[in-house]
Amino acid sequence: MRRLPPLHALRAFEAAARHLHFARAAAELHLTPTAISHQIRQLEEILEVKLFHRYPRPIRLSAEGAALYPVLRESFDRMASAIAGITAPDSDRPLTVSVTVAFASFWLMRRLPALRSQTGLNLKVEADNRPVDLSGSDVDFAVRYAAQAEPEGEWLPLFEDKLIPLCAPDLLRRNPVNADADILRLPLIEYRWSGGAEASPSWHRWSRAAGLGGAVLEITQHFSEEIHAMDSALAGQGVVLASSALATSAVAAGQLVHLSRTELPGRTFWAVSRGDHPRFAEVERFASWARASG
């Protein structure tokens, strides 16, 4: 007969050891941090050992905790795989991806037919500008825009980005551009940037990069969302500094014109999922396809 501590206490310890953070473990298991702490203390009392060094912060595993954690991690992974193998095939449902509204509209939606035919993947697209909690939702993976991968989750690079000046062909015909200074005389469009001022697609940053730091700038239109700024440019209302990756299809179709070789560095698009996700191979398939399709 096996003599094991309560399963809920083992599960709480495994999640806390994986995150090295009680609050994140609590969010994953839909508990409170107090409940996680209580269950781990219960486990420590049963085993008569300390599993964590709680002070000084951040928490870290004790020698006993470090010995127990990989055994539990492997055991829970094997249980999850076995359960997945005897239940209804999860691959019958679409793979749910969380993306920003702009990424959905300008990049993903235009490529969905090719994605299905070339990879066999069927995506359910959740478009929202708020980051989704991958451990506490039905979302399988997210497309994120960041300078570098973060410690939590598996981050698969898709493609690097840059910020470029774009306008509609009709506006360019009415206002020929022969030099970067001519661009700054066009109606300028900006939008609110959530990624930090040091990397924002602002016309002041672009003018400095073009060697025109002393130019007088008049921003004609401000938007809260990138998608609306790009729609405004498509409608011929001005020139926008926007993601080269998102604008690729519109430029190829002649809907937008890339006006200058002066660019601002962007960030990287990533596909992000849990490393232990049962459909992680499909996320990898999406990432490989996205890198190839650009």
Contact indicator for 163, 266 with CB cutoff of 8 Å: yes
CA distances from 107 to 8, 66, 191, 203, 232 (A): 43, 44, 19, 24, 17
Is 255's pLDDT higher than 90? yes
Reported as a pLDDT band with limits 50, 70 and 90, residue 24 is confident
Beta-strand relationship, 188-191 and 219-223 = parallel
> What are the pLDDT digits (tens) for 147-171?
899 888 899 999 999 999 999 999 9
CA distance 13 to 5: 11
Task: Please report the sign of the dihedral spanned by the C-alpha atoms of residue 151, residue 153, residue 156, residue 159.
Answer: negative
SS3 61: strand
Q: Name the pTM for this structure.
A: 0.68
pLDDT of residue 122: 92
Region 119-136 average pLDDT: 86
SS3 65: helix
Q: Among candidates 241, 177, 238, which has minimal Cα distance to 208? A: 241
Listing DSSP states for 159-222 in one string gives EEEEEEEEE-HHHHHHS--SSHHHHTTSPEEEE--SS-GGG---HHHHHHHTT-TT----EEEE
> What are the pLDDT digits (tens) for 60-92?
999 999 999 999 988 888 887 676 666 555 556
Cα-atom radius of gyration of the chain, to the nearest Å? 25
CA distances from 77 to 25, 86, 154, 214 (A): 16, 15, 16, 59
> What are the pLDDT digits (tens) for 92-127?
689 999 999 999 999 999 999 999 999 999 999 999
Cβ partners under 8 Å of residue 175, min gap 6:
182, 185, 186
Residues facing residue 123 across a β-bridge:
95
